Amino acid sequence: MIKIGIIGTGNIGTDLLLKILREPNLKPVIFAGRRMTSDGIQIAIQKEVPVTDKGIKYFIDNPKCCDVVYDCTSAEDAKKHAIIFAQQGIKVIDLTPAKVGDLCVPSINPEIIDVNNNVNMITCGGQASMPLLNLISKHCTGLDYVEIVSQIASKSAGMATRLNIDNYIHTTERAIREFTGCNNCKVILNLNPAEPCVDMQTTMFLKFKDINFEPLVEEIYKKIKELKTYIPYYELVLPPVINHDVLVLSIKVKGTGDYLPEYAGNLDIINCASIEVTKRMIK
């Protein structure tokens, strides 16, 4: 049994808590926020999960209270928290684009949690695109340029998301460079105010010199099947096509509706990925 702490009781933290409660080998021992009146803390109380409004001070006062802590706060706060958790020897799964720990994608490098006490789950766009970008990079030569464009519902972008947009872009671009080997890349995030709310969609563009296309397409469908084992509503909505030496494909992600609305697949995917990498510790 792995003892879990969560710091940050907003939308992501609350949805994450509800998902963890379904996992038989993960036990939430503290849900730490700043306001006892927050919706997240009230839900945790109903679920009989220990709560606190002391935030990071709780972990300072109760060192090593858990085996793993999920940081669902902000990039700036997560950088400060990382110092405290490192001193206590607690593993951190960082859901903010803080760029402190090693970048982690469960379908690419889940073993990183074994050797590093702080792993970063990149961003929603990173978790959506990186498994496919990494795969494509292995089937082409002369990869010159990578661009990803993510569209999310404006209502799914809370204050922390909006404050962290620069960090989102820089962290996702860093992940592209690390997982594809291509240094020429660009990341775009669009907040769509449409009603009814749109689902998260990420479109990828890759410019290359040569590509082994048919075997790649077969591998892409295998990879999507693998991803759906922990991201249930991960769908390919534009199959890979080549136009003037540019490969284009697009995926859509819907949420499972635990706490967040189903259109907030951008928040759901990073929670699903975080739990999946934690399961590596159980294995």
Closest of 65, 20, 12 to residue 39, by C-alpha: 12
- Using DSSP's 3-state secondary structure scheme, residue 191 falls into strand
- Of 66, 72, 104, 124, which is the active-site residue? 124
CA distances to 61, 128, 173, 233 from 224, in Å = 43, 10, 22, 10
Per residue in 89-116, pLDDT (tens digit) is 999 999 988 889 999 999 999 999 999 9
- Alpha-carbon torsion angle 192, 98, 271, 21, nearest 10: -140
169: Cβ contacts below 8 Å, ≥ 6 apart: 187, 189
Mean pLDDT of the chain: 95
Q: CB–CB of 191/200 below 8 Å?
A: no
140 catalytic residue (yes or no): no
What the block records as the tokens of 13 is 């933290």
What is the arithmetic mean of pLDDT over 38-52?
Answer: 97
pLDDT classification of 262: cutoffs 50, 70, 90:
very high
Per residue in 111-132, pLDDT (tens digit) is 999 999 999 999 999 999 999 9
Per residue in 184-231, pLDDT (tens digit) is 999 999 999 999 999 999 999 999 999 999 999 999 999 999 999 999
pTM recorded for the entire structure: 0.93
CA distances to 76, 106, 122, 238, 273 from 167, in Å = 10, 21, 10, 28, 19
